[in-house]
Structure formats: C-alpha cells, structure tokens
Amino acid sequence: MSKVILKVESLVKDFTIRHNHGGMKHKLAGLFNPRFQERIETLRAVNDVSFTLCKGESLSLIGHNGSGKSTLLQLVSGILLPSSGSVQAFGRVAPLIELGVGFHPELTGEENIYLNASLYGLRNKETRARFNDIADFSGLGDFIDTPVKNYSSGMYMRLGFSVAVHVAPQILLADEVLAVGDQDFQDKCYQRIRHMQEDGMALILVTHSKEQGQRFCQRYLHLEKGRAIDEGRF
C-alpha cells in the first residue's frame, strides 16, 4: 500500500463577519441599547471535509467560485488555521496559492529566491546550489536583478513556480495561479509537474471543472458551499 503523505480530518473553517449599522455614534449607542449593537455573523467556508493523499497521488479540487476550494488549500498549506479538525502533512509542502506571497516587493528577484526558499526550510547554502537552475527555469533573464514590485503577474508566477519546484516538495498545492502567463511557460510548468509526479510527489490542484482536473489528477473532490458533495476517480 502507498504511504499516506497527507491526512485531512473533519476540517472546519469559520470566518466572523461584523455588520456595522453606522459610525461611532451607533457604536456608542450600542453600549446602552441592544437595538444599535452590531450584528455578528459566522460564515462556514469549509464544513467537515476529510480526505487522505498518498505518495504520488493527485487530487483535483473542483467547484464554483466561493465553494471553499481556495480556503481548503490555504488550510492544508498552513496559511490559515482551522476552526476545528486537523491537517497532517508528512513531507515538505510547497503552496502556489497567491501571486506574490512570500516575496518582498522592494527586493530583487535574486534576493526573493533566497527569501522564498527559506520559507520552505532551505538554508542559504542549499539555495545557492540550486540558484542557477531556479533562475534559468524562470526565464526572467536580466529581470532577476530587478525589484519584483516592477514584475507583471506572469513574471511573479514564473519566479514563484520556479522556486517551489526546486525545493523538492513532497506535496505541491496549486491554485489557479498557473493560468497566469504565456502558454509556453504554462506547458513547461505542466511538464515539470508531470516529472515530479513520476518521482512520487503528491499534487492538489484547484480547478473549475472535472475536465480541467483530468489532465493531471487521478482523483477529484467536488466542493459546494464548503462541503464535499462528491469524490471519486477520473
């Protein structure tokens, strides 16, 4: 039996939304009159989701916008903490969730490679040994010496993906950031993902439909209003 590399159990994420009915005057009035108190609403973005992922397996998260896919991915990556339930990852997790996360806008591409790699747990010595491969794969050329605040969204994606795939992750989490950029680089990314999957890397990929997920994933989990309403194999 394949080794379990990710275990998600009864995962729940609630967000608190405060509805203010006015300015400071109403807030002060609310101290004395319940009619003026702000209304607090709890939004359950992820509702009792469980699944496991084995080494080399791939899972497509499908569903409409607002179904909880991105929130679930952020919980798995550790960017968000769950309200209840648990996530156990038995290996290095590389999240490609939001463009620019893990980068400092004032630093150059080169400096951000070291910064971003350190967030994945690499020491400077390890990053230095992989630097040329990361820079070459990104295809940024001389822009690697430019502050990333001047980068386009496609350039951000190039740099972020290049770092993520060179830190040797056991689990790669990819939101729809891979839809950014030119087709040639997207094809290059997908080819690299294929090779990493063959080497045993697990993948969770956010898509809008089963058709999109079938290209890279063996399994799917269909979310609706934060719940898993269907799951299976392609």
pLDDT tens, N- to C-terminus, the chain (234 residues) = 579 999 999 999 999 987 665 566 656 656 666 665 667 889 999 999 999 999 999 999 999 999 999 999 999 999 999 999 999 999 999 998 876 778 999 999 999 999 999 998 899 999 999 999 999 999 999 999 999 999 998 899 899 999 999 999 999 999 876 666 678 888 888 899 889 999 999 999 998 778 878 888 999 999 999 999 999 998
Distance between CA atoms of 83 and 86, rounded to whole angstroms? 9
Helices (H) and strands (E) in the chain, counts: 7, 9
In CATH terms, 4-30+42-233 corresponds, of 1.10.1040.10, 3.30.420.10, 3.40.50.720, 3.40.50.300, to 3.40.50.300
Q: Where are the domains of the chain?
A: 4-30+42-233
Pairing of strands 58-62, 202-206: parallel
**What pTM was computed for the model?**
0.84
Could you give the count of Cα atoms lying within 13 Å of 187 in the half-sphere of its Cβ? 3
Residue with tokens 């999109």: 212
Distance between CA atoms of 175 and 95, rounded to whole angstroms? 8
Sign of CA dihedral 195, 197, 203, 206: positive
